[in-house]
Amino acid sequence: MNIEKEVMALEEQMKKDKEYLWNNPEPGLKEIKTSAYIKDRLKEIGYTDINDNIYETGIVATLKGKETGKCILFRSDMDAVIMDNTGRTKHTCGHNAHMTILLSLAKLLMDNKDKIKGTVKLLFEPDEEGSGGATPMIEKGVLENPKVDKVFAIHVWSELKEGTVGIKKGPVMASTDPFEITVYGKGGHAGLPEKCVDTIYIANVIGKSIKEMAKIDVSPEEKIVLGVTAINGGETNNVIPNEVHIKGICRTFNNELRRKIKEELKNTVEKLAIEMGGRAELKFIGNYPATINSKEEAEEIKKIALEVADNIEEKYQTMCSEDFSYFLEKVPGAMILVGCQQDIYYPQHSENFTCGMKPVLIGTQIFYDLVNSYLI
C-alpha cells in the first residue's frame, strides 16, 4: 500500500468521521443526522457551494478551481442497511466508509484549490439501499451546471481481500429486477380439487419453470440469476386458496439480455397460468441496470491502483447491484471495488460485516489521484 503523506495526515479525522457515521446509522430518506453531519463537516473544511435541497437528504458540494476544465463527480451513498422487520439499521454495507472517503477528498481538494483546473462535484446520495437516489438526483440536474464529464464511485467490498482493488472494464455489477407474481384461481375444499383451480399447484409449476429459464437460451459467456425467493398462499390444510403470491429476482450483466429475459418471463408466467385454468399477473417492482465501467476510465484507475494497492483484480464482477449504474448510463466513469475482507470473511449486509481503515486510505488516495490525473 502506497499512501501519500498528505492523505495519511487525515487519518485521525477519517477515524472520527467513520466512527460517528457507524454509530449513527439511518435508513434511506431519513438520513437526518447523517446529512447534518456532512454539511457541518463540509462547512468546517471551507465549502460554501453546498446544495442540500437537491433530493430529500441528499447533498451536492461543488468546488471550482481557478481555471476552467473538466467537471468530475465523485459519489458516496449515505443510508444504512435495514437489518430486520423492527427497522433496526446498521452500516453493514460500508456506506460510512464511503462518506468518510468523500469527506477526506473534500479536504484534499480544498487544500489544493488553487491547482485545480476545472470543477469537482461531491455527491452524497440517499436511499441507495431502498428505491435508489441516483435517478431522482439525475432528474434534479446533478449532472448539469456545469455538465459532468466523468463520474466515479467506490464500494468497499468484502469479497476482495484488504489491499486489493477491483477495477474491471465493462460490466462489474449486475442489473437487478425484483418481481412479484399474483396467481389467481378458484379456491375451495381440498377434498374437491376437481371443483377448484389449484393456485398452489400453478405457483409450483411457475416457480420450477422460472428456474429452468435461467439454464436455456443464454450464451455460455453470460451469467444470469433468475429464481423465486418467496411463495405465500393458503392458511390451512383443507382449503385451496383463491390467490398465491410469488416473489423473485432476475439479475444479469447484459442489459439487452435483461430486456429479453423480462419479456420472456412475463409471457411464460401468464401462459402457464392460463394453460392450467388460472390467471397470473407479473409486475417488476424496481430495477437497476447493470453497472458498466467505461474502458478509458477503468484503464486510468488501473494505472493509479497499481501504485496504491497491494493487488489488482481486473476480472472480478458480482451479481450484486448498484444504482450508480444510472450515472454510468449518462456519463463515462467507473465503480471501483476496494477490498475490505480481513482474516474472517463476513459478506456485505451480514450482522458482522466490518471495514477497517486500510480501504478508506486506499479509496481516498485513488480518488485524489483521479483529481490529479484529470484536473491538475
Which pLDDT value is given to residue 103? 98
Region label for 286, one of left (φ > 0), alpha (ψ between -120 and 50) or beta (otherwise): left
DSSP labels for 130-194?
A: TT-SHHHHHHTTTTTTTTP-EEEEEEEEEEEETTEEE--SEEEE--BEEEEEEEE-B-EETT-GG
Mean pLDDT of 79-93: 97
Please, what is the angle between helix 32-45 and helix 95-111, to 10°? 20
Contact 327, 75 (CB under 8 A): yes
* Summary mean pLDDT of the chain: 96
Return d(Cα 222, Cα 205) in angstroms, integer: 26
Which pLDDT value is given to residue 217? 66
Among 115, 126, 157, 123, smallest CA distance to 141 is for 123
Which domains are seen in the chain, by residue range? 5-173+290-375 (3.40.630.10), 177-284 (3.30.70.360)
Single-letter residue type at 319: M
Which pLDDT value is given to residue 270? 97
Question: How far is the CA of 288 from the CAs of 55, 135, 352, in angstroms?
Answer: 19, 10, 27
Which pLDDT value is given to residue 371? 98
Which pLDDT value is given to residue 1? 81
β-pair partners for 63: 120
pLDDT band at 64 (very low <50, low <70, confident <90, very high): very high
- Residue 238 class from Cβ within 10 Å (0-12 exposed, 13-18 middle, 19+ buried)? exposed
Return d(Cα 23, Cα 84) in angstroms, integer: 18
Mean pLDDT of 11-24: 98
State yes or no: cis peptide before 146, omega within 30 of 0. Answer: yes
Which pLDDT value is given to residue 216? 65
Q: Give the cell for residue 340.
A: 475490505
Contact 158, 340 (CB under 8 A): yes
Polymer length of the chain? 376
pLDDT in tens, 215-244: 766 777 788 999 999 999 999 999 999 999
Mean pLDDT of 320-327: 97
pTM for this one? 0.93
% pLDDT > 90, the chain: 94
